[in-house]
A and B are shown apart, each in its own frame.
Chain A
Amino acid sequence: MSIGHLLSTLVCFTVLLLPFDSMASEEEEFDAVHHTADAYYLDFLPFAKVELPRLFIVRHELSGTQLLAYSSTKRALQSGEMLPYPDHASDEPHDDEPHTASPVDLDALITSGKHLDSKLIPREGALLLDLSITKHLVFSILASGILLTIFIRLARRYRRGIGRTSAPKGVFQNLFETLIVFVRDDIAVPNLGKENSDRFLPYLLTAFFFILTCNLLGLVPFGATATSNLNITAVLAGFTFVLTQFNGSKDHWKHVFWPPDMPVLVKFLLIPTEIMGLFTKPIALAIRLFANLTAGHLVILSLIGMIFTFTQLFGEVVGYGVVPISLGFTLFVMFLEILIAFIQAYIFTILSALFIGMAIASHSHSEAH
């Protein structure tokens, strides 16, 4: 390995470790779960911590439903219209009585940075919907923007005739064409059949590339993995669920509500199972994607955290000794994560195609299936 390689590797790791460095210097407790979870700020530590806008839909008894918008959590609290929900609320019997913090308490809370972790509730009226922008939402929007940029540009090339009548040119076009053809020929067509695959191909392609982009964005320094958020994977699985149910054939529904070729008693046993089966499929989709992406990040963070844990437990010398082992494992898991980013995008897409394919299939039950 040349010195150049060594240097670039070191620089990469330095960038990766910057947030941890800041944690150590601020003597914060290292919390891998906290880092992986969604938040109302973008983490550019040690340079900056950018608070994201907060949007609330609040129903007021007098002024009706209104939208409250603030540029950051700090502003929302300082406006006095929103109050931090106390951490120990669960201990108190009166949950609906907001904790009225004094301005001094509020300043202390903001200075400590803990205001970002507290739930906000309106001083007056009831909170209908918290539409605040979160870290994972920002990265979802970023992924969506990347998809739009890449594929509309790619489509423009095809419109110009490159790849339509001639061979595709360049790395950009060849790379994405390979992936698109892969989704079409290895995911959509085998599960949906040639005549149906065109109908669902746009969804499958969008899901594949959206998940892939989100997964990969999590591996970028200062990035976050939107797909390690259960809400986001649930939305994606929800799209698959809706597509599956709305395109279900007569056979699909018959299979669910009156399973054929069975004794009547068994049918009554099977019907609840089948109905549950409708929901377990998308739930499994959502949890699989969420768990895989979260686990990878937790493992990486825990491996790096080992350095700090060992330093705290056995002193600095042991801590330095752990560094190479910890970084070696981290590097390995990082490569694994790249692999997982592709594999999970593939699995989500192929299972979606499989579920839709099963639902749209029409077959007579005298045949074996």
Chain B
Amino acid sequence: MLFGASLLSANVGLIVWLSVIFLVTLLILRRYAWGPITSALSEREETIASSLNRAEEALAESQRLQESNAQAKREVEQEAQKLLREARDEAQSLRDRQVERTREEITSLREQALLDIERDKERALQSLRDEVADLAILAAEKILQGNINSSSQRALVSQFIDDLTTSDRSQSPSAQA
């Protein structure tokens, strides 16, 4: 039988050779190639996985921070709004009170003024009445110097003075006080 003609011929020598070669290759590769390569690969995968985890955590953390920041901002804004409103209210009420007081003051001042005017007027009337009486008396004296005896003329003067008094009293009642 030709050696080369058979695809199925057994060759123990070849089996021995290949067993040795394959085993040596396997051991060398395991020691110097597969070990370093697979350890590097798993190390890299762990690094990537942990970086991803950390990135995710950081993202969650930043979202949490952002959330709390927004919350704080909202609170602060609300606080500011409240303060502003309070201040505005305060100012409004202060102004209202001020206006009220001013108005009261003005009223009282006017009343005071009116009273003063009334008093002055009364006084003026009084002095005018006195003056008129004096003038009348003076006039009367003058007349009397002419015809003092005439009783009818005297009655006339008295009548005139009375009339003055009554008309004055009817015009301003406070003049009597």
* Chain A contacts to B: CB under 8 angstroms: 31, 33-34, 36-40, 55, 87, 90, 116-119, 129-134, 136-137, 140-141, 144, 147-148, 151-152, 154-155, 158-159, 163-165, 177, 180-181, 184, 198, 201-203, 205-206, 210, 228-232, 234-236, 238-239, 294
CB distance from A290 to the nearest CB of B (A): 8
* Contact call B33/A238, Cβ cutoff below 8 A: no
* Chain B contacts to A: CB under 8 angstroms: 1-19, 21-22, 24-26, 28-30, 32-38, 40-41, 43-44, 47
The answer to whether residues A148 and B7 also contact, given A159-B36, A163-B41, A180-B38 and a CB cut-off of 8 A, is no
Give the chain B neighbours of A234 by CB distance below 8 A. Answer: 15
Query: Complex formed: what's the CA distance from A203 to B11 in Å?
Result: 24
The answer to whether residues A152 and B32 also contact, given A119-B3, A206-B25, A230-B7 and a CB cut-off of 8 A, is yes
Query: Complex formed: what's the CA distance from A236 to B17 in Å?
Result: 12
Give the chain A neighbours of B32 by CB distance below 8 A. Answer: 152, 155
The answer to whether residues A137 and B44 also contact, given A37-B5, A158-B36 and a CB cut-off of 8 A, is no
Query: Complex formed: what's the CA distance from A234 to B29 in Å?
Result: 21
* Contact call B37/A131, Cβ cutoff below 8 A: no
The answer to whether residues A38 and B4 also contact, given A132-B13, A137-B14, A235-B15 and a CB cut-off of 8 A, is yes
The answer to whether residues A117 and B25 also contact, given A180-B37, A229-B14 and a CB cut-off of 8 A, is no
The answer to whether residues A118 and B34 also contact, given A229-B14, A230-B8, A235-B22 and a CB cut-off of 8 A, is no
CB distance from B54 to the nearest CB of A (A): 16
The answer to whether residues A134 and B5 also contact, given A148-B28, A152-B33, A235-B18 and a CB cut-off of 8 A, is no
Give the chain A neighbours of B5 by CB distance below 8 A. Answer: 31, 33-34, 37, 117
Q: A34-B5, A155-B32 are in contact. List 8 more A-B contacts (CB 8 A).
A: A37-B9, A137-B14, A181-B41, A202-B34, A205-B29, A206-B26, A231-B15, A232-B14
Chain B at the A interface: SS class: helix
Query: Complex formed: what's the CA distance from A133 to B8 in Å?
Result: 18
* Contact call A117/B16, Cβ cutoff below 8 A: no
* Contact call A38/B11, Cβ cutoff below 8 A: yes
Indicate the member of B4, B16, B17, B38 with the most A CB atoms within 10 Å.
B4
* Contact call B13/A116, Cβ cutoff below 8 A: no
Nearest B residue to A166, CB-CB: B44
* Contact call A198/B38, Cβ cutoff below 8 A: yes
The answer to whether residues A147 and B18 also contact, given A152-B33, A155-B32, A231-B11 and a CB cut-off of 8 A, is no
Query: Complex formed: what's the CA distance from A133 to B15 in Å?
Result: 11
* Contact call B36/A155, Cβ cutoff below 8 A: yes
Give the chain B neighbours of A118 by CB distance below 8 A. Answer: 2-3
Which residue in A34, A140, A206 is a CB contact (below 8 Å) of B18? Answer: A140
Query: Complex formed: what's the CA distance from A132 to B14 in Å?
Result: 8
